[in-house]
Amino acid sequence: MTRNVLLATLCVIAPLRLSAQADLGAVASAAADAWRAHSFGAMVQGGRIQVTLPGVAPSTPVAPDQAAALLQSYVRGAVEVEVRVVNSSLVGSDAAFVELTRRYRQAGSQEVRSETILLAYRRRPLTPAPEGATPPSPPSGTGGWVLTEVRAAGRG
């Protein structure tokens, strides 16, 4: 009996975890694409975001438009050579992180620099919609993941 309950539980939990990891992979790829294009607006949709950049004191969590402006200012003058996903991992059922590696040149230079970008995500809670209303959709392509922190490290 216990074995049957355990097997039934695994049959339910394993696909949910795999689905969450697949969603996270899509979010990680979308984040790399957004960074590559310096198009931060779609990446920072959702709630408030803490931004930590080299040489600047960490921000308190800021609104998405402010986070996008900070990131846009940070990459101004840079030409991306490569942005790739190094790792994406679930941390429990409602948190995750993504690690990107960025290789870039400053405009007018041939020197290639690299840095690591760490992104923290939290799964948007599923809240039932009021009767007769349609539930709100998460930002397109996010699988319910909302960016909560951006941390750039190792610029050089």
So where are the chain's domains? Answer: 2-153
Which one-letter DSSP state was computed for residue 49? Answer: B
Question: Which CATH number is correct for 2-153, 3.10.450.50, 3.40.1180.10, 3.90.960.10, 3.20.20.220?
Answer: 3.10.450.50
Give the pLDDT band (50/70/90) at residue 116. very high
pLDDT at 139 over 50: no
Residue 37 has pLDDT above 60, yes or no: yes
The pTM score is 0.76
71, pLDDT greater than 80? yes
Q: Is 58 exposed, middle or buried (0-12, 13-18, 19+ CB in 10 A)?
A: exposed
| Burial annotation 112-121 (CB, 10 A radius, 16+ → b, else e) | eeeeebbbbb
Q: Is the separation of the CB atoms in 124 and 138 below 8 Å?
A: yes
Residues above pLDDT 90, as percent of the chain: 60
User: pLDDT averaged over the chain?
Assistant: 81
pLDDT of residue 58: 82
Alpha-carbon distance of 116 to 151, in angstroms, equals 8
